[in-house]
Amino acid sequence: MPFMEKLGTFLTRRKPLLSLIISLSLPAIGEMALNTMLGVSDTIMISRFIGKEALAAVGFANQIVFTFIFVFSSFNTGAVALISRSLGEQNFVKLKRYAEQNVNLNLVIGIVVMLLSLLFSGSLLSIFETTEEIYRDSLLYFRIILAGFIPLFLSFSFAATLRGSGNTMTPMIITGIANITNIIGNYVLILGVGPFPRLGVAGAAWATSGSRLLGMLLYIYVIYVRKSRFQLKFRFFFEKTIIRPLWKISLPGAVEQALMQLSFLTMAVIVSRLDTVSEAAFRILIQIESLSFMPAIGLSIATATLVGKALGEKDTQKAMETGYLSVTMGVVWALFIGGIFISFPRFIIGLFSTESVIIMTGAAVMLFLGLNQIGLTFNIIMGGVLRGAGDTRTVMVNTILRLWLIFIPLAYVFVINMNTGLAGVWYAEMASFAVFATLLLLRFFGRKWTMIQVEEEHA
């Protein structure tokens, strides 16, 4: 009880900052929830309207697409840090320069990734062992999806500008509109409703690319057309003093994501050596864990913006308190959702599968999924604190060492050598978080991240 009283007092005394963190976090959480629901609806519609072969084809294509998205969207990390710091300094001229240069950077990335992916599309998809029909549908879907890559990457840059400026609501609204359009487009183009032809897998791809184009157009209206103090102008040239800090801060995030995606692929290979039931349960458990840390990611996004703004205001104490509050709220959420996982394992797994053997296998691991929540949430939010300060190199090194020095080797030992089954994955993850959460905490209290210079001297 004394702990709860101290926690209540701590939060009450910082109510204005607490309210600000929550107001920025909720739209970001809502945006992620919308994207999650879109993925679920896409899966259901493709499965029911076309068939399991089409679902497999789309899944293979999206495995490559999502890898590109996770890696290259990380190039916006620097924009959030620099824009939020410029906001704190009340330097709107510099804020716009960073935002405009980030748009140019994302435009170039989008063009290069789209062209290279189109050129090597056949080779990329040939890494999967599939039937000829699935390969053909996967290739068709992938090539159409590439048409939406430039709008998608530009949308990343626009969203980074808004989030760095403290506006997380507009990206959520635009994402919601684009997702609804995607769902309607799926129904109309997959089945051929009204005057539209029945396109099947191609229809699902065109619906996705079309919704991304719509999202980009909405962002363009908000950022380039609508009058505001953040209104941008399109100028396609690169300023060395602006693009260098953007690249310097963002590159570690991209490297981090690339090696993280590779670790996920490696983990999938390790789990694939178990039986089919364990592999199916693993997919369900990963989906559950992904849903559970959405609030942590929302808090991380809000924290990065507020930390950057506080450092721009030269208020390091406010930056520290933002970190304290965000991590505290994250731990409270972790205790709550972890308790739910531990208390109702069979019910939760049963929402995803009706097969008793899968429910039993997954439920046995839910205890460790619950215990893992604190470490998982802490690492995500503390990463947001450091990214907001521009300390992306520390986050990158921490993540890479955690995954490849502890998590992957221990997972192999537990799952394969010690025959612990799926639980071994979470034994390894908990161990990796325990070690590197401590290192992140030491970095946080050391305060060196508050003194990082994020821009060129004459930027």
Q: What average pLDDT does range 209-220 have in this prediction?
A: 95
| Rounded Cα distance, 187 and 198, in Å | 10
278-287: pLDDT as tens digits: 877 887 888 7
For residue 326, pLDDT beyond 60? yes
Which residue blocks in 128-239 are alpha helix, DSSP H?
Answer: 132-145, 149-164, 169-191, 201-220
Q: What percent of the chain has pLDDT over 70?
A: 94
Number of H helices, E strands in the chain: 20, 0
DSSP string for residues in 248-281: HHHHHHHHHHHHHHHHHHHHHHHHTTS-HHHHHH
* Domain encompassing residue 36: 30-238
Could you give the angle at the alpha carbon of 450 between the alpha carbons of 444 and 455, nearest 5°?
135
User: Does 89 map to a domain?
Assistant: yes
| Separation CA 272–CA 277 (nearest Å) | 10
Distance (Å, whole) CA 139 – CA 121:
7
Q: What is the pLDDT of residues 159-206, one digit of tens each?
A: 999 988 889 899 999 999 999 999 999 999 999 998 999 999 899 999
- Residue 4: per-residue pLDDT: 63
Answer with the residue of higher pLDDT: 222 or 37.
222
Number of structural domains in the chain: 2
CA distances from 449 to 323, 437, 440, 441, 454 (A): 12, 16, 11, 12, 10
Contact residues for 23 (Cβ-Cβ < 8 A; gap 6+): none
Look at residue 273 and tell me if it is in a domain.
yes
Q: Are 17 and 159 in contact (CB under 8 A)?
A: no
Q: Among 238, 268, 295, give the residue marking a domain's end.
A: 238
The answer to whether residue 395 is domain-embedded is yes
From 177, 207, 238, the end of a domain falls on 238
Taking the CA atoms of 109, 114, 116 and 121 in sequence, report the sign of the dihedral they define: positive
Q: Which residues contact 376 (CB under 8 A, 6 or more apart)?
A: 289, 293, 296, 334, 429, 433
Same domain flag for 134 and 198: yes
Based on the fold, state whether residues 34 and 179 are members of the same structural domain: yes
pLDDT for residue 458: 40
Share of the chain above pLDDT 90, in %: 46
Residues 215 and 282 in one domain: no
Of 184, 212, 238, which residue constitutes the final position of a domain? 238
Res 7 pLDDT > 70:
no
pTM: 0.79
